[in-house]
Structure 1
Amino acid sequence: MKEYQLVFIDKNQKSGTDFPVLSSWKKANCLTDFSSPWKEDAISKIEFRALWDLENLYFKFIVFDTDIYIDEKDNSFDSIGNSDRVELFFRKNEAIDPYYCLEMDTSARIMDFKAKPNKDFDFKWKWPKEDLKVISLKDKNSFTVEGRISIASLKELNLIQNNIIEAGVYRAKFSLAENLQYDATWISWVNPNTPEPNFHIASSFGKFILMK
């Protein structure tokens, strides 16, 4: 399995917003080896970083793309699911029974749900609000989605085992097609080796190593 190491920071390295300061993010390992195994087209560069302390896991996506599509008809999961977004999945074990999904668009709207194999989704399940926070930012070159997840909630869900979290890291990119519909490009850190795009499978996960 692919591995990504999370650098440990102390609580004094956070800003007043409860997120790590810039100097802390500079210490984080930068993950860039994303691909879209189902399309030959080039994809925009993605930088993913994560850090942790005794209270939270912190993550930051920077996507170097300004051609962003957002479905703004409402704030439903359907609307988020039709928008450019980044995603994090977490699983208890290889059986992915269950696993937990966070899908976040460029406006920091969150689609969080619990799932079981074969895309059995429980959209009634929510990550506790006090245990999750997501913010977003757009500039002339990129968009950023940054968040924090409490260590307590990850432990409660039995997602940290021997300082390892099994996780998937993804992006959904929507582009205008010839029929005036938006076509999705599915991008993953780990190639799941499936004939059709599928993140909801055990082979799309890697390991987050919590360093100390």
Structure 2
Amino acid sequence: MPPIRRGVLAVAAVALLFGIAACSGEGPRELTVTEFGFPWSEKPSPRTVFRTRTDGDLLRFAFEVDDDDVVVSDAWDGESTVDGEDRVEIFFARDADLADYWCIEIDPLGRVHDYHARHYRVFDADWDCPGLKAEGSSTPTGYAVRGSIPLATLAELMGRPIGRGSELRVGLFRAEFRGEGPEARGEADDNWISWARPAVEKPDFHVPEAFRTIVVP
């Protein structure tokens, strides 16, 4: 297993399907996304929860996933290993047209595939997210992933200061694979979970409609 480290980003504007709730209490304010779904399937999707908040000079985030068939590889053949696994994904985009965006994909063990991208699907696999930390753990109902990104890293990517109250264009996704064979590992409509319903016929998160703007809590 490689060292635990960094992960994925992207952004865009969106009209869509799922809900976001911001809450504040005694501690730091937190943004919670609870409504994810299958944009390309009528099936009910398993539970996915995303949370994020600032903590000093970091943006912390976490995914909680219900999954009764966690697909993860015992072997590690580089970051592309993550492509065939269950995973959560967070993308950050500099602009609504996805001229520049960054992707972090994290498997249930906390292993990362991160890359820079340009619309449409022009990928730079050599990019690594500076300062990214990620970890994964099993839970009674599936798995959880937690991570953090320095706000300074996001500021460099976005070309402007990023902190509490800043706007970020973000994509939040999940790959939900099962069993064996391509029909269960990326080619089925119910392999892909999103907080948005992109206006495309085939599953694809690398489009502007897959993103929306959040306010950094």
Normalised by the length of structure 2, the TM-score is 0.80
Can you list the C-alpha shifts for 1:2-60, whole angstroms capped at 9, x where unaligned? 68576689xxxxxxxxxxxxx858x6343111111112222110111111134011111
Can you list the C-alpha shifts for 1:126-174, whole angstroms capped at 9, x where unaligned? 112xx21001110222210000000000001116667101000000010
User: 2:33 aligns to what SS in structure 1?
Assistant: coil
User: 2:177 aligns to what SS in structure 1?
Assistant: strand
Specify which of 89, 95, 113 is matched with residue 111 of structure 1.
Answer: 113
User: 1:157 aligns to what SS in structure 2?
Assistant: helix
- Is 1:72–1:79's contact at 8 Å kept on the other side of the alignment? no
Unpaired runs of 5+ residues, structure 1, are: 10-22
Amino acid in structure 2 at the alignment position of 1:174:
F
Partner of 1:46: 48
- Is 1:87–1:102's contact at 8 Å kept on the other side of the alignment? yes
1:53 and 1:100 mapped to 2: Cα distance? 21
Partner of 1:172: 175
Specify which of 187, 190, 208 is matched with residue 202 of structure 1.
Answer: 208
| C-alpha distance 180-203 of structure 1, shift in aligned 2 (>3 A) | closer
- Is 1:113–1:124's contact at 8 Å kept on the other side of the alignment? yes
- Is 2:104–2:113's contact at 8 Å kept on the other side of the alignment? yes
Percent of aligned positions that are identical: 27
Asked if 1:120 corresponds to 2:122, the answer is yes
How much has 1:73 moved relative to structure 2?
3.2
- Is 2:89–2:104's contact at 8 Å kept on the other side of the alignment? yes
Partner of 1:152: 152
Can you list the C-alpha shifts for 1:81-128, whole angstroms capped at 9, x where unaligned? 000000000000012111000000001000010000111000011112
Unpaired runs of 5+ residues, structure 2, are: 1-13
Amino acid in structure 2 at the alignment position of 1:78:
S
CA RMSD of aligned residues (A): 2.5
Partner of 2:141: 141
Which segment is superposed worse, 67-76 or 102-111?
A: 67-76
